[in-house]
Structure 1
């Protein structure tokens, strides 16, 4: 991790062990969820075509597997420190698609539609805690 100094706040460029662990825990939660999400779509388990039908998605095995591979690949990129930023961007797009799907069919706002928003906040928060470069880019404290 690069130690980037920032004139407005000297703590932005520093990474304490507590911050790194907080970031790892938050990131780990998202990664575990995405592994679960991707793995159940590969066979796919019985619940996957049922859920996809309710969401208005094609229920064929190929679509489920493609979504599973995309989610696993994006999660792997996010988990690897050198590609974490790219993985976060790809996962943000994935979550955006999920949000749009839930909006389109009129699912409940806070429990279903905003779930992708919650995951995105946790994901970017985890990366923000882990990576001083992102804190320098997005300084939330003064």
Structure 2
């Protein structure tokens, strides 16, 4: 991946691990929606969406397409952006129906942090865009 040469090996490994976990989860999530079993369609109905197989498959296809974008190094940033929007919609849906905050509503936030954290750890180019800096001592009188 471009940018790897400036990223320390330990950070790259941690980033790939975090990204791999997210990718595995999202592939499983998308695949389950592509074969809309009863719990998928029942959950869609509970969230206020049409509970037909077509809606489940559409959501599964969107999940898988965005995940593929994220998994491919050249399009990983675009994939992270698309997944962020997708997860934001999921969070808004859970907020609207009154789902539990920490287990349901904020789950998209947890995934989003892993998505961007994994990408940041494995691609040094993001360090310039999203810097995490240590506090510096000012050395001057205050």
Does the TM-score normalized on the shorter chain lie above 0.5? yes
Give the number of the structure whose alpha-carbon radius of gyration is greater. 2
The equivalent residue for 1:34 is 26
The equivalent residue for 1:9 is none
The equivalent residue for 1:54 is 46
**How far 1:14 sits from its partner (Å)?**
2.8
1:1-142 matches, within 5 Å, as: 1-2=2-3, 14-142=6-134
The equivalent residue for 2:137 is none
Instruction: For structure 2, list consecutive stretches of 5 or more residues without a partner in the other structure.
Output: 135-142
**How far 1:60 sits from its partner (Å)?**
0.9
**How far 1:28 sits from its partner (Å)?**
0.6
The ranges of structure 1 where at least 4 consecutive aligned residues each deviate by more than 2 angstroms after the TM superposition are none
Secondary structure of the equivalent of 1:39?
Answer: helix
**How far 1:141 sits from its partner (Å)?**
1.6
CA distance in 1, matches of 2:18, 2:32: 22
CA distance in 2, matches of 1:51, 1:14: 44
Backbone CA RMSD of aligned residues: 1.3
CA distance in 2, matches of 1:51, 1:2: 41
CA distance in 2, matches of 1:53, 1:23: 36
Q: Taking structure 1 as the reference length, what is the TM-score of the superposition? A: 0.90
CA distance in 1, matches of 2:83, 2:125: 19
